[in-house]
Copies of this chain bind each other. A is one copy, B any other.
């Protein structure tokens, strides 16, 4: 059989092995356990401070980490299985690029925030941050889903993780903006980066694969596994790296209320915009999550429960309307083919979240925050910024993020256009069997003889 451009036999192994070897070498040279993880350092710490093992930060971060981890691998992975014939790729490529990105992110974020005496110190918090950065790549994956090869995705991840880390550094460390749940750094950046890449990769002939660009009954149920896990664990996501104590508590709670309110808005608007008043699974699977995105910045602030509910409600409305009215326009007018509708789930709600964050920060007062100001807005507490100064920095951060996403997306989009990267033909997008051994369908077996079935069923040990 002739080697197609889409044949991954050499390309994918080369990319995976080279990248992993580079990672291993850089980890060997640069990475070391942090004080909570290293046997010698932690025991010195225990002795010095007469502490106990129960005070290891592991216990106060690891449950959050695990929830985030579920969102990254089950949440994003299954959310994208809604396509009828792209489930293997959705959950499989999600798995591959996440496994790569979390390693690469450890290095990139480490270079910028975590260097101590020439070494990157890793612990449970760096694991969470790496998963966060990975989330951003997976959002971009959603925009180009079904139209890219795994090699393209790996290359996109290399660049996107790097740009993410730089953007995050500028926002959090230079501008000293707050963005615990990543409305800007994760969602806005990931969405617009992915959309710009999708624009560059625009396929005028994509209608040739149109019959595969939709769901079937069971694929929508698989996708709901992703949706529900994302929805449930979003409070953990937004609160995973906030300051301990009231901050984590409040962030989780604000997110919980925002999501609950967003869900009602989504169901309501979904029925309203349908001629027959029928609900659309695309809305439920996606827009109901927008409430988590939209409190990603302000969640740790004193947003109040009802404030969170208002933000969530708006996010659900905007997101559902976006799926209904904006996505077709993006495709027809702006030539952005956004497979998963990331503009509606991550793009607009991310911007909303950034704005809400800027406003909430501007309204911060010592009367409301008390001594808790130190944790939420250390620079206001230290009298380095005024509240409105903090708000301005939040707003600038949004602009910086959009700029990074746009410029980065254009460059990376053109890199991904290189022909030998194995992009699928227009007639075969949204189709697993171009990159996967795909077994037959149960159903088709039923009228086959056992001999015929042998040929259809994937041999297990093959």
Q: Are B268 and A56 in contact (CB under 8 A)?
A: no
Q: Which of B59, B81, B213 contacts A59 (CB 8 A)?
A: B59
Task: Tell me which residues across on chain B come within 8 A of A88, comparing CB atoms.
Answer: 220-221, 279, 281
Inter-chain contacts of A141 with B (CB < 8 A): none
A330 to B375: give the CA distance in the assembly, Å: 59
Chain A contacts with B in 202-254, Cβ cutoff 8 A: 210-222, 224-225, 228-229, 231-233, 236, 243-250, 252-253
Give the contacting residue for A213; candidates B60, B368, B457; CB below 8 A. Answer: B457
CB of A250 within 8 A of CB of B33, answer yes
A19 touches B264 (CB 8 A): yes
Number of copies of this protein chain within its complex:
3
**Chain B nearest CB: distance from A319 CB in Å?**
13
Please, how many residues of chain A have a CB less than 8 angstroms from a CB on the other chain? 171
Q: How far is the CA of A1 from the CA of B101 in the complex (A)?
A: 50
Q: If the complex has contacts A216-B440, A442-B216, are A264 and B100 also in contact, measured as CB distance less than 8 A?
A: yes
**Smallest CB gap from A439: residue in B:** B215
Stretch with Cβ within 8 A of B (4 or more), from A47-55, A345-353, A401-409? A47-55
A337 to chain B: closest CB distance in Å?
9
- Pick the contact of A461: B20, B122, B328, B433 (CB < 8 A): B328
A24 contacts B313, C-beta separation under 8 Å: yes
Assess whether B441 is in contact with A442, with CB atoms less than 8 Å apart: yes
A374 CA / B42 CA spacing, docked (Å): 12
> Is A388 an interface residue when CB atoms closer than 8 A count as contact?
no
Of A160-168, A354-362, A443-451, the one with at least 4 CB within 8 A of chain B: A443-451
| CA A69 to CA B255, docked complex, whole Å | 14
In the complex, which of the residues B7, B263, B302, B457 contacts A99, with contact meaning CB atoms closer than 8 Å? B263
Interface residues of A in 45-87 (CB under 8 A from B): 46-47, 53-60, 62-63, 66-67, 69-70, 73-74, 77-78, 81, 84-85, 87
In the bound complex, do residue B245 and residue A13 qualify as a contact, i.e. CB atoms below 8 Å apart?
A: no
10 A-B residue pairings within 8 Å (CB atoms): A9-B276, A10-B277, A13-B271, A25-B306, A69-B232, A95-B288, A215-B457, A278-B435, A328-B461, A441-B442
